[in-house]
Amino acid sequence: MIAPVERAAVIDMGSNSFRLVVYGYVPGSWWSLTDEIREPVRISAGMGDSGELQAEPVERAIRTAGVFAAFCRASGVERVDAVATSAIRDADNGDELIEEIRRRTGLSVRVIDGDEEARYGWLAIANSTTLEEGFGIEMGGGSVQLMRMRGRDLEERVSLPLGSVRVSEAFLPGEKASAKAIRAVRKHVAEALAGLEWWQAGDTPRLVGIGGTVRNLAAAALKRGDNPDIDVQGFALTRDALDELIEELAERPASKRGGLRGIKPDRGDVILGGALVLAVAIDAGGFDAVEVSEAGLREGVFFEHLLDDREPPLFDDVRSESVINLSHRFQTDATHVHHVARLCAQLYDGLADAGAIERDRGARELLLAAGLLHDIGMTIDYDDHHRHSHYLILNTGLPGMTPRELVLVALISRYHRKGDPDASELGDLALEGDDDLVRLLAGMIRLAEQLERSRDQSVESLAVAADGDRVTITPRIATGASGDASVAIWSARRNADLLAAALGRDVDVAAA
């Protein structure tokens, strides 16, 4: 019996934009983002030193909240968690807005303080990256949350009024950004961070950033190079690349900054302020780059619900969980893909043990991920399903993996059936030897797929031996197997040439 899909909505009422996201999930199996509405409310506009939300943005906020509430009612989403952050919690009339939203829309909004906002940021980072020891920064429109993680736990946190909207309105209000104004922003941020003794990279120099400002800046940097068209999950925005973006943004009038590829148009007037805050924070901590996660406060709120049976609510292993999640979402024949993955592991380990390849834990992990995901394209169609798998992996993403690793898994899956592997899609993400790596791992998964050609697990396991210029792979037949392994062996022999070319040795698939 197929478990019913449940849905939960999170509404994030931020200083720059209000966003409604809907997640579909099957407890213990998979989850995914299924719908989203974003509105650039700019609730903090004109707030300045008065401490009060202004009439026009308040009306925009109420109207947007009404649309979100109506959407949830119309689409039958019963679990709705609405949270308000910096601008509303800091405003003298923030409580009045929350009450008016409740009265006019029926939506109950929870105002979270800076500590709780940082905690949700931590949940987002810890459940979407492999960060165990290091730092996090969440950049919002009104505030910035800094975090220090140790052993995946949130050890330190602070919320500072340095959001992109707040800083831009205070220091960069016009079309032009003068050198004096930019220096003033840098000085203001540096002074705010000066007392944070724990904000030092030291021997854990890894920094992960979340929030729209970080994502937009990373997208702009990614699009400047020869890179595949993928999301910025796992992308490392270097300090040098950030400086280049700051220089280009500063040269443009505020109304034109949103025209830079990767920057959302409605974020153009505040992106420079956000970039300057990020740059100073990186410098103050002694970091070289910020690794980007697509997750954010909304995912943090959702993860608290999804993983409410765990304390703390964290995935055990983000990389493996992301592969399993994607496999379950597009599941076709689970028994088959798990068996192909097992055969891939046996083939890799056998070749390494025999000295035919150099053992590499990372390469093995990529192979196993491709083994579990190589058939997800069959949810679209059998014909060209290898291409569909490639597309789904690239466009759905694998949190915990770098952009390079994501593309490699997609490519290995792409060539599990046929074709001459080509790693040029990696572009600037490529490392030396990646073309050979794709050919080798694609050769392995192609052979493993053929040894499971009949989808009956008749080939239970493999033995691998290497002698001179020859590798011999001997299938072992499952006890009491009802299928005929001769088809699998025949098909494997016809598809061993790619692995043979990658190894530089003849590959013989022996009789069972």
Supply 303's token pair. 């993860």
- Write the class of the CATH domain 319-509: mainly alpha
Looking only at the bridges linking them, the beta strands covering 30-39 and 153-160 are: unpaired
Q: Which CATH architecture has domain 6-111?
A: 2-Layer Sandwich (3.30)
CA distance 90 to 97: 12
**pLDDT value at residue 187:** 98
Q: Are 462 and 350 in contact (CB under 8 A)?
A: yes
Tell me the C-alpha to C-alpha distance, in Å, between residue 449 and each of 96, 231, 377, 488.
Answer: 62, 29, 15, 9
**pLDDT value at residue 482:** 59
Tell me the C-alpha to C-alpha distance, in Å, between residue 314 and each of 125, 295, 318, 319.
Answer: 10, 14, 9, 13
Mean pLDDT by 10-residue block, N- to C-terminus, for the chain (512 residues)?
Answer: 88 96 95 97 87 95 98 96 96 97 97 98 98 97 97 97 96 97 98 97 95 98 94 97 98 97 96 98 98 98 97 97 96 93 98 97 98 97 96 97 98 97 97 98 98 93 95 90 79 97 97 80
Helix intervals (H) in 402-470: 403-414, 434-451
**pLDDT value at residue 54:** 95
**pLDDT value at residue 201:** 96
**Main-chain dihedrals φ then ψ at residue 134, nearest 5 degrees:** 160, -150
Using left for φ > 0, alpha for ψ between -120 and 50, and beta otherwise, residue 211 falls in left
How many Cβ atoms sit within 10 Å of the Cβ of residue 342?
Answer: 18
Q: Are 52 and 92 in contact (CB under 8 A)?
A: yes
- The whole-angstrom distance between residue 450's C-alpha and the CA centroid of its chain comes to 32
> Any idea which residue has 């239970």 for tokens?
460
- Provide the residue ranges of all domains of the chain, joining segments of one domain with +: 6-111, 115-298, 319-509
**pLDDT value at residue 1:** 57
CA distance 66 to 71: 9
Q: Hey, do 6-111 and 115-298 end up sharing a CATH topology, with the first three levels equal? A: yes
**pLDDT value at residue 479:** 78
CA distance 107 to 18: 14
pTM for the model: 0.95
Using left for φ > 0, alpha for ψ between -120 and 50, and beta otherwise, residue 455 falls in left
**pLDDT value at residue 48:** 79
Amino acid at 287: F
CA distance 338 to 53: 55
CA distance 107 to 70: 10
How many Cβ atoms sit within 10 Å of the Cβ of residue 246?
Answer: 19
- The whole-angstrom distance between residue 190's C-alpha and the CA centroid of its chain comes to 30
Amino acid at 482: S
CA distance 130 to 112: 26
Class of residue 481 by CB neighbours under 10 A (exposed 0-12, middle 13-18, buried 19+): middle
CA distance 62 to 157: 31
Q: Pick from 195, 431, 399, 442: which is nearest to 299 by CA?
A: 399
Q: Are 470 and 508 in contact (CB under 8 A)?
A: yes
Q: What is the CA radius of gyration of the chain?
A: 26
| Measured torsion, CA atoms of residues 64, 65, 71, 76, in degrees rounded to the nearest 10 | 170
Q: Pick from 265, 274, 258, 248: which is nearest to 170 by CA?
A: 274
Q: Pick from 305, 332, 322: which is nearest to 365 by CA?
A: 322
Question: Domain 115-298: what homologous superfamily?
Answer: Exopolyphosphatase. Domain 2 (3.30.420.150)
Helix H or strand E encompassing 509:
strand 506-509
- The per-residue DSSP string of 35-80 comes to EEEEE---TTTT-GGGTS--HHHHHHHHHHHHHHHHHHHHHT--EE
Amino acid at 206: R
